[in-house]
């Protein structure tokens, strides 16, 4: 078989059914091989969208999402969503066409050190250099993507390997799965003792714990340990509005368990002003570098550190643990903080516009009655409103990396992965500009998602920063055109479009969008409020 056929057969053996891609010269042999193997190619309008779709596929299904890009600028266009996938802990396999090995150093068309570019934003990146390597490259990369902590892996595939005859009639055997790093018995006993002795412990987990295929296991650990769980998957960390006022609880905790959650900016770098000066910290992480970093940052506040898969370590501690003390008051305190949505009363809404909270609450009512709802929250200020007030059994947010713009492609991939689901993506008007043309992809692929655009006529995050730091007379470079008609783009591409200027009309537009059976865009005029920050002592307002 040819090298390209070997690659595609290896993907199919691993259960891959769908590949997200944009066509290009160096990957045409792979396209041809996909025809024979029956793999679906979802081709997009921009390479970044293909990687964002692979990320969403991984988040929704729990399996590796596969993106296929061409060389040079094609690969370069996919870098930003690779960073998002890395921080979202999404198992993604990025395959890229590459210049022929025989032309190395000769100035070949689109010659580039691809692995050098992607290495900082992947778990692993390599250029395959021989046919012998090619045979096992896919299996190895898939295993790396799924190993703790999950994340993206990149393989660059030289064109002459893709078109060469491998001399193989069958695939080589699958390699044995590598064991995840595990805590030893003494470490597990110490962990169990720390958890049993604490009066006010907290489990702090990363994005993986929020995924639909892992959430139940993490909730069960929380219950077994009588320890509240916070999943951090937002660029605003503890100030993620979907966590309510939970940030206020950290100062009162006496034990913080970082269960696969890196100690980084989202946790205030573990400073005592965030964690509380008396809190002891446990770090359970599969990455030795992150464990070492936590040791340096925490000093004598570190009670235990272990290179291990955190879920398995906690399960082992549960098996050994003594009955925990009564923590009902503490658990109620954290639960109440998580549900807090109190905020100062906002200024009156301008005529012809909706408040961001009112918009999101109406979308939530729609989601609550929808079949198998999936919600995607994307954007700066408006994206944070969506995270605060829109929930579903499956939720995708723009992630710890803080990149915006991937929401529409992610929604399309979610709909392809779960055709029975009702998929709604909320995004700002600035965010919409990144990938609005992917509505064409949604039409071609029969993926009727509903995009709700909160249109405040500006890049609101930057507007708010300028307003706070420089004053209202120093606003520059943030305004967007009032003449833009985002819903008309959807109509022009074969979808459904509606413009909403009154609160009473949004519910009708959502029902019409769903009834159309088409990819839809609802352009809602909003008032551009800053993102909410919730606190227990604030006055409730709407």
pLDDT attached to residue 322: 80
Q: What is the mean pLDDT of residues 529-534?
A: 89
- Under a CB-based contact definition with an 8 Å cutoff, are residues 118 and 94 in contact? yes
Q: Is 379 left (phi over 0), alpha (psi -120 to 50) or beta?
A: left
pLDDT digits (tens, 9 = 90+) for 396-406: 999 999 999 99
Q: Judge residue 478's burial from the number of C-beta atoms within 10 Å of its C-beta, 0-12 exposed, 13-18 middle, 19 or more buried.
A: middle
pLDDT digits (tens, 9 = 90+) for 11-68: 999 999 999 999 999 999 999 999 999 999 999 999 999 999 999 999 999 999 999 9
Q: Cis peptide before 138, with omega less than 30 degrees from 0? A: no
Write out the H or E segment, with its range, that includes residue 315: helix 310-320
Q: What is the mean pLDDT of residues 341-362?
A: 86
Mean per-residue pLDDT over the chain, rounded = 94
Cα of 437 vs its chain's centroid, Å: 21
Write out the H or E segment, with its range, that includes residue 251: none
- C-alpha atoms less than 13 angstroms from C-alpha of 409 in its C-beta half-sphere: 31
- C-alpha atoms less than 13 angstroms from C-alpha of 507 in its C-beta half-sphere: 10
pLDDT attached to residue 214: 95
Per-residue pLDDT for 541 more than 50? no
Sequence-ordered alpha helix ranges (H) in 436-536: 438-444, 460-470, 486-492, 503-516
Architecture of the domain spanning 3-162? 3-Layer(aba) Sandwich (3.40)
Confidence bin at 278 (pLDDT 50/70/90):
confident
- Under a CB-based contact definition with an 8 Å cutoff, are residues 352 and 209 in contact? no
Q: What is the widest separation between alpha-carbon atoms in the chain?
A: 72
Fold assignment, 185-339: Rossmann fold (3.40.50)
DSSP-derived letter for residue 518 is S
pLDDT attached to residue 538: 43
Edge-to-edge order in the sheet of strand 422-428: 394-397, 373-378, 422-428, 450-455, 520-525, 496-500
Q: What is the mean pLDDT of residues 195-222?
A: 95
Note the pTM of the prediction, 2 decimals: 0.95
Per-residue pLDDT for 131 more than 90? yes
What is the rounded distance in angstroms from the CA atom of residue 306 to the CA atom of residue 187? 8
- What do you get for the CA distance between the two ends of the chain, in Å? 64
**The listed CATH number (3.40.50.970, 2.40.50.140, 3.20.20.80, 3.40.50.300) that belongs to domain 356-525:** 3.40.50.970
Provide the residue ranges of all domains of the chain, joining segments of one domain with +.
Answer: 3-162, 185-339, 356-525
DSSP-derived letter for residue 265 is G
Confidence bin at 536 (pLDDT 50/70/90):
low
- The yes-or-no answer to whether 185-339 and 356-525 have a common fold is yes
Share of the chain above pLDDT 90, in %: 89
- Under a CB-based contact definition with an 8 Å cutoff, are residues 69 and 27 in contact? yes
- Candidates 447, 406, 431; CA nearest to 486 is 431
Lowest model confidence (mean pLDDT) among 41-45, 156-160, 245-249, 423-427: 245-249
Q: Judge residue 175's burial from the number of C-beta atoms within 10 Å of its C-beta, 0-12 exposed, 13-18 middle, 19 or more buried.
A: exposed
Residue 511, both tokens: 């029902």
What is the rounded distance in angstroms from the CA atom of residue 59 to the CA atom of residue 57? 6
Residue 529, φ and ψ in degrees, nearest 5: -75, 150
Confidence bin at 494 (pLDDT 50/70/90):
very high
- Under a CB-based contact definition with an 8 Å cutoff, are residues 124 and 154 in contact? yes
Confidence bin at 102 (pLDDT 50/70/90):
very high
Q: What is the mean pLDDT of residues 490-513?
A: 96
């Amino acid at each position: 078989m040819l090298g390209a056929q070997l690659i595609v057969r290896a993907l199919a053996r691993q259960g891959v059914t769908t590949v997200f891609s944009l066509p290009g010269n160096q990957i045409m042999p792979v396209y041809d091989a996909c025809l024979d193997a029956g793999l679906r190619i979802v081709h997009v309008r921009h390479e970044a969208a293909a990687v964002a779709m692979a990320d969403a596929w991984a988040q929704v299904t729990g399996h590796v999402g596969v993106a296929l890009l061409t060389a040079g600028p094609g690969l370069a266009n996919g870098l930003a969503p690779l960073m998002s996938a890395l921080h979202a802990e999404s198992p993604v396999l990025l395959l890229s066409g590459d210049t022929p090995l025989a032309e190395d150093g000769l100035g070949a068309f689109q010659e580039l050190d691809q692995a050098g570019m992607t290495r900082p934003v992947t778990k692993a990146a390599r250029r395959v250099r021989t046919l012998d390597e090619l045979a096992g490259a896919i299996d190895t990369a898939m295993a790396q993507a799924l190993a703790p902590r999950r994340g993206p892996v990149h393989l660059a595939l030289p064109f002459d390997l893709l078109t060469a005859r491998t001399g193989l009639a069958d695939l080589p055997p699958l390699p044995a799965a590598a064991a995840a790093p595990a805590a030893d018995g003494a470490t597990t006993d110490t962990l169990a003792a720390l958890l049993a002795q604490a009066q006010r412990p907290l489990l702090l987990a990363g994005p993986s714990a929020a995924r639909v295929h892992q959430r139940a296991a993490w909730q069960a650990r929380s219950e077994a340990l009588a320890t509240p769980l916070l999943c951090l998957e937002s660029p605003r960390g503890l100030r993620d509005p979907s966590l309510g006022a939970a940030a206020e609880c950290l100062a009162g905790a006496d034990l913080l368990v970082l269960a696969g959650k890196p100690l980084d900016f989202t946790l205030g770098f573990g400073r005592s002003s965030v964690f509380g000066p008396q809190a002891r910290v446990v770090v359970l992480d599969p990455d030795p570098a992150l464990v070492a970093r936590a040791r340096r940052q925490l000093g004598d506040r570190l009670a235990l550190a272990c290179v291990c898969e955190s879920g398995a370590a906690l399960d082992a501690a549960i098996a050994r643990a003594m009955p925990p003390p009564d923590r009902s008051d503490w658990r109620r305190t954290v639960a109440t903080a998580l549900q807090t949505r109190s905020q100062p009363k906002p200024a009156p809404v301008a005529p012809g516009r909706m408040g961001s909270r009112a918009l999101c609450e109406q979308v939530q009512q729609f989601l609550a009655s929808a079949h198998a709802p999936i919600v995607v929250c994307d954007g700066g200020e408006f994206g944070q409103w969506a995270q605060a007030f829109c929930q579903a059994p499956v939720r995708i947010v723009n992630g710890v990396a803080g990149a915006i713009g991937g929401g529409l492609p992610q929604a399309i991939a979610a709909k392809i992965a779960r055709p029975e689901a009702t998929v709604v993506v909320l995004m700002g008007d600035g965010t919409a500009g990144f990938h609005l043309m992917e509505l064409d992809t949604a039409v071609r692929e029969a993926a009727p998602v509903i995009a709700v655009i909160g249109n405040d006529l500006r890049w609101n995050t930057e507007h708010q920063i300028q307003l706070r730091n420089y004053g209202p007379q120093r606003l520059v470079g943030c305004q967007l055109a009032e003449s833009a008609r985002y819903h008309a783009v959807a109509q022009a591409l074969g979808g459904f479009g509606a413009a909403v200027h009154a609160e009473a009309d949004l519910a009708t537009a959502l029902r019409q969008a769903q009834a159309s059976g088409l990819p839809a865009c609802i352009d809602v005029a909003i008032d551009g409020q800053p993102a909410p920050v919730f606190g227990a002592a604030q006055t409730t307002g709407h």
